[in-house]
A and B are shown apart, each in its own frame.
Chain A
Amino acid sequence: MSDPLCSVHFNEVILKRFKNMMMRLKETESANAPPAPVTVDGRPPRRNKREMDKVLLAFSGGMCSRALLHLVNECVGNAKRKKIFFDVSILYIDESAIHDSDDGEAILAQITSITQQHEFPLVVAKLEDVYQSDSARSSRDQLRALLRGATTLSASEDVLQHTRQLLMHQVAVGLGRDRVLLGTSANRIAASIITSTARGRGGNAVPVDQSFSSSQGHFPTTFFRPMKDFLLKEIALYSRVNHLECIPIPTLGTMRGPKASMDLLTETFVERLQSEFPHTVHTLIKSAEKLQGATIADDQGACPICFTPFTHAERRKAQLASRVPAAVDACSSNSSSCGSSCGSGDNASTGGCCGGNGCGGKSSPVPDASLASLRSVACYGCQIMLKEVSSPAPSAPPAMAQRAHRIMSKADMRREIGDYILEEAEDR
């Protein structure tokens, strides 16, 4: 877009680009979709375009997700144009437990008034729900301890990001929606490519975080990033032209200065370059698109904290993970409950039910594991993060501990029967 556009044309251009992304979304099979039956002439049948695909739209109140919400509404709800068929629910994550301000109620009221404009149902989940505790106070305390345990802002940002992601998985599963839409902009992706690489996540997280869609092995949730080709500047202009109200919600990095964490530093770096060389963001993203991450055959091949696939070296290391200290931490003091949660069937990989929607939860008793105890089966990037977590470490969200335990149990099994099995091929 090198020629200036008037606001009407600008709107049309943005909407058209976004619609293409939504069409692409429609054509992407869900992670857990049953394999398409083959028709008589051997070709797969075309998906019914009028089928309502259920999606969960992650809405933070910020500029990008606000624009995402508006654009999705234009695609789905506008009677004048051809509709794209999606059944949309909005997810807002209430993070007030980790911020000192009293604004929680006021912010929630603003969020509600915005989402009501679009007639999509709103689901509110509290970040502390990842702890699935019977007592709300206990969950809040555990969440606060988790964030306080990070001794650097970079580590807190990592921990927060993974906790949010876990909650999104849990809520999506609880609602039976296997697609989550994120408002991540091109600039954010470009900066995260650099940040992740610097934090030891270049091999596994970068290919995932920059992709249009990412799902991991047997995890049922697919994350989509339909804003990944939109620059922050374009999103800001779209927001302005359409008079979109957004709520700058305080985050960990607010007012901390441009060098307080890796994320803030690379954001400043990328923005500075981008202001002089407007192809910077685009170039970074195109380069990262060429990376091929590891694919995982099962959920034992993914880090229990950040869910990204292990590289081969990490997987081998996880397989050799030593048993004793981890098992003592991973099982709660009640040893009979430990037996039922180890290796248990369908719920283990999703960490049980979200709990936040009163669905009762089918989760097995929750192991009480410290974040540090997951180190032996964490990916390299998470191990770096764990080095910046204080000792004694805070307790990990149960779903992460359960996943870690499954990896370790499988490693034990493999060791015990190791002499009796043939060598597996490297790529399963």
Chain B
Amino acid sequence: TSTFMRVRLEFSGGLELLFNKVKHHEPVLEGRDSIPFGELLVWIQKNLLQERPELFMSGDSVRPGILVLINETDWEIMGGHKYVVQDGDSLVFISTLHGG
């Protein structure tokens, strides 16, 4: 079967520097129609992150100080790292570290 899913990712607040200065990514993940958040993070680290993983991730999750929005909603309302990402979801990662 040819299931796949597409997600829209955005990195901002300086995070884009770790992703070749590219803010928007729309990767296609083959062979599945949903993916747990933690697994998606691992996928991002393997396939999109160019350098300095410790500035993006901490253990299984994002580094504290990075705000995550799922479909423009605070991820804490959506279940945090337990959320299962669906086809078409948008995820925004905003670093608040050393901002402003």
Contact = CB atoms under 8 A, between A and B. Distances in A.
A4 interface: yes
A183 B100 contact: yes
A66 interface: yes
A379 interface: no
A44 B65 CA distance: 46
A249 B74 CA distance: 25
Interface string A316-340: 0000000000000000000000000
A236 B65 contact: no
- Provide the main secondary structure of the chain B interface: loop
A253 interface: yes
Given A63-B13, A240-B69, A255-B55, A232 B99 contact: yes
Interface string A226-259: 0000001101110010000010100101110110
A274 B64 contact: yes
A275 B64 contact: yes
A131 to B, nearest CB: 26
| Centre residue among A64, A187, A271 by max chain B CB count within 10 A | A271
B71 interface: no
A258 B54 contact: yes
B14 A236 contact: no
A47 to B, nearest CB: 31
| Centre residue among A4, A240, A248 by max chain B CB count within 10 A | A248
A267 B54 contact: no
Interface string B76-100: 0100000000000000101011111
B14 A254 contact: yes
Interface residues of A, number: 34
A269 to B, nearest CB: 9
B64 A236 contact: no
Interface string A58-97: 0010111111000000000000000000000000000000
A272 interface: yes
B98 A251 contact: yes
Interface string A130-143: 00000000000000
B78 to A, nearest CB: 10
Contacts of B97: 267, 271
Interface string B3-22: 00000000001100100000
Nearest to B92: A240
Contact of B74 (A4, A60, A63, A232): A4
A60 B98 CA distance: 12
A316 to B, nearest CB: 38
- State which size class the interface on B falls in: 20 to 34
B98 A236 contact: no
Contacts of A183: 100
Nearest to A252: B98
| Centre residue among A232, A246, A254 by max chain B CB count within 10 A | A232
B40 interface: no
Contact of B94 (A65, A236, A251, A272): A236
A258 to B, nearest CB: 7
Contact of A255 (B17, B58, B74): B17
A268 interface: yes
B30 interface: no
B99 A63 contact: yes
A221 interface: no
B34 to A, nearest CB: 23
Interface in B17-73: 17, 52, 54-55, 58, 63-65, 67, 69, 72
A258 B98 CA distance: 11
A156 interface: no
A253 B74 CA distance: 27
A232 B100 CA distance: 9
A236 B55 contact: no
A268 to B, nearest CB: 7
A341 interface: no
Given A4-B77, A257-B55, A271-B64, A236 B96 contact: yes
Interface of A: 4, 7, 60, 62-67, 183, 185, 187-188, 232-233, 235-237, 240, 246, 248, 251, 253-255, 257-258, 264, 267-268, 271-272, 274-275
16 contacts: A4-B77, A187-B96, A232-B67, A232-B96, A233-B67, A236-B94, A246-B13, A246-B99, A248-B14, A257-B54, A257-B55, A258-B55, A267-B97, A268-B64, A268-B65, A271-B64
- Which 7 residue pairs spanning A and B have beta carbons closest together? A64-B100, A62-B100, A271-B65, A232-B96, A248-B14, A63-B99, A275-B64
Interface of B: 13-14, 17, 52, 54-55, 58, 63-65, 67, 69, 72, 74, 77, 92, 94, 96-100
